[in-house]
Structure 1
């Protein structure tokens, strides 16, 4: 009876979400692209990884409240376990902090470079796996469909502060807005949202942000170390911002996928063309949360919302790849350093990408496919 009730509750929640959030153009494109994936897998079998056996990553509002709580409980569990990186980062106090440390250390290599998309795919999968293997989480990493909540993110199922949310907005604090480095006026400043202070509701209301900042978007306490890895405990702050969310609606994502046939332009438009005043959906999602640490380019994984945002980034890449799997599963571009600074050679599928002390280096080619990548450990699709 309990099992039936759980299934029935999940089913009813799914129906409610479907009624409240009908499929957008990106959802429809993903659905219409699945036959291409299935046909590819028929021609190119991936061992035990088939469409039927693949994990289905789901959108936040399609999870029941209990499933959402199971996820946030697992994140809190990760925050309670001792760090593996404390020898190199004195500020790291938990396994959750480990992932922030790795992002800080590897940001100059893994943004605006060959490694941006494949490295983050590895990073998110490894975090998902830690939740499952170390904190007994039975589900999989959920994603944040930006379009669903773009008109009013602060009052969405993500940020309403309920037990089924990812925590509330920050308390209202007066500030001038969120600066966007490298963008011309008037695109260099996002008007303030309705928060800016400490998060006081939801599962992360008592969370401690321990490392950083390095590139803060709001005034906050400085880290005792110049590399941002010293111990600097402070509250989680957010300024949930519909001005930033405006560039993450489905039309932007659909155009990103359909108008950019080569990986260079797909990634460039996604990450943002700041000199032209174009933030891209990547920056738009980060600045929708904003605050400290979400608005910090280096330390952003310190806000648990990072993981839902970057799972959506991976989903968008997955949909883009499905449009031409034969070509796009092997297509990389850009150089090996962020924005080619310092100048470096073009990256290749044989370059190594890893997670520092958390996971071994693997060739980029092992991170290109969600179906059979990483020696078969990647076996997932998006529902």
Structure 2
């Protein structure tokens, strides 16, 4: 492989030194693709954003325990600050809840639609920015490389319940499994794992889930409002599940990136083809955590692991884009409504996407590139 100049050799050396897991085929593809990004930037320089200045988002286990704790402390800080969306949602009690409320309100627009990938890119960046600006976090949004932990997620650095984790599994509680709406048997039910109850270990053992549920996968108390936005305090529940994790191994992600050359199929395969019994890595990651609220399609950002999962979704899109930047930085597909219900026009780069009361609407075009997008505010890559 031909390395880009000095920055490239330095970056690859730091990647090799930092990893505690051997690189998988997706990691190798990402590294091998960096010269393509450098070549594109040479032709399309971005003011104030270069490969030398770009933020490096790192995988969870490549952070030190101290760095992981700094991240979870910042999330807890966000959960302690008053909500901005309480007028919209009586159940919102914190800045963390604000992001859950926006996801609930915008789910029908931002899934199975043109906006799925660019909107979530904006959403994650804004959350990362809130952790830094409002809670003094010095790092950047980590991601969850699904493959590293797929064989035994409950004992991984992500879920082992230590102070350097994102919290443990839920206590053992009998249930019938996790239903997958729209999938045929036997793909419509994930067998139960060894959790299902309240998380009792790690940084989020005392966390309160305040809004939802709307589409619960466990038997939890219904929200006092039909829209799920009422106050419904309860514990964080998980059923960390290796059956769901089995569809997130690196071979699935590699095939997703390399075998789908149009964004329509890339996004469709990623989100899942449930009638064909194919969950996709997007659903596979969500259902690896499962529980309440992680298994709830609308309320899933209420589990702090959501943000690492969707940072990985963004990373996979980033790697896919790098394979053909001239084309893929302008490729959008699908219509403007979830699964085209109700029927709507095809989306375009000029359509607006925003975060409600949290952030202004911007064009989809502004959200396509991690190097100079959003008026130069996006300037990051994934290590």
Partner of 1:180: 180
The reply to whether residue 331 of structure 1 matches residue 363 of structure 2 is no
Residue-by-residue CA offset, 1:179-205 (whole Å, 9 max, x unaligned): 000000000000001100000000000
The reply to whether residue 30 of structure 1 matches residue 30 of structure 2 is yes
Distance (whole Å) between structure 2 residues aligned to residue 139 and residue 119 of structure 1? 22
Partner of 2:3: none
How far residue 21 of structure 1 moved from its aligned partner, in angstroms, is: 1.0
Partner of 1:120: 120
Partner of 2:11: none
Return 5+ residue gaps in structure 1 as ranges.
1-12
Partner of 1:200: 200
How far residue 46 of structure 1 moved from its aligned partner, in angstroms, is: 0.5
Answer yes or no: is the 8 Å Cα contact 1:14–1:62 preserved in 2: no
Return 5+ residue gaps in structure 2 as ranges.
1-13
With normalisation by structure 1, the TM-score equals 0.96
Name the SS of the counterpart of 2:198 in structure 1: strand
Distance (whole Å) between structure 1 residues aligned to residue 48 and residue 181 of structure 2? 46
How far residue 14 of structure 1 moved from its aligned partner, in angstroms, is: 8.2
Partner of 2:94: 94
Answer yes or no: is the 8 Å Cα contact 1:14–1:64 preserved in 2: no
Residue-by-residue CA offset, 1:151-191 (whole Å, 9 max, x unaligned): 00000000000000000000001111000000000000000
Partner of 2:105: 105
Residue-by-residue CA offset, 1:60-80 (whole Å, 9 max, x unaligned): 000000000000000000000
Answer yes or no: is the 8 Å Cα contact 1:54–1:371 preserved in 2: yes
Distance (whole Å) between structure 2 residues aligned to residue 248 and residue 322 of structure 1? 21
Answer yes or no: is the 8 Å Cα contact 1:245–1:285 preserved in 2: yes
Residue-by-residue CA offset, 1:215-274 (whole Å, 9 max, x unaligned): 001110000000000000000000000000000000000000000000000000000000
How far residue 17 of structure 1 moved from its aligned partner, in angstroms, is: 6.3
Runs of 4+ in structure 1 over 6 Å off: 13-17
Change (3 A) 1:339 1:234: same
Distance (whole Å) between structure 2 residues aligned to residue 17 and residue 320 of structure 1? 23
Partner of 1:81: 81
Distance (whole Å) between structure 2 residues aligned to residue 77 and residue 180 of structure 1? 34
Partner of 1:352: 352
Partner of 1:315: 315
Partner of 1:216: 216
Name the SS of the counterpart of 2:282 in structure 1: helix
Distance (whole Å) between structure 2 residues aligned to residue 110 and residue 317 of structure 1? 16
Distance (whole Å) between structure 1 residues aligned to residue 372 and residue 49 of structure 2? 6
Cα RMSD between the aligned structures? 1.1
Partner of 1:3: none
Distance (whole Å) between structure 2 residues aligned to residue 76 and residue 202 of structure 1? 12
Answer yes or no: is the 8 Å Cα contact 1:178–1:192 preserved in 2: yes
Distance (whole Å) between structure 2 residues aligned to residue 96 and residue 345 of structure 1? 33
Partner of 2:44: 44
Name the SS of the counterpart of 2:197 in structure 1: strand
How far residue 15 of structure 1 moved from its aligned partner, in angstroms, is: 7.6
Partner of 2:7: none
Answer yes or no: is the 8 Å Cα contact 1:49–1:372 preserved in 2: yes
Partner of 1:155: 155
How far residue 336 of structure 1 moved from its aligned partner, in angstroms, is: 0.1
Distance (whole Å) between structure 2 residues aligned to residue 86 and residue 191 of structure 1? 37
Partner of 2:267: 267
Distance (whole Å) between structure 2 residues aligned to residue 21 and residue 377 of structure 1? 31
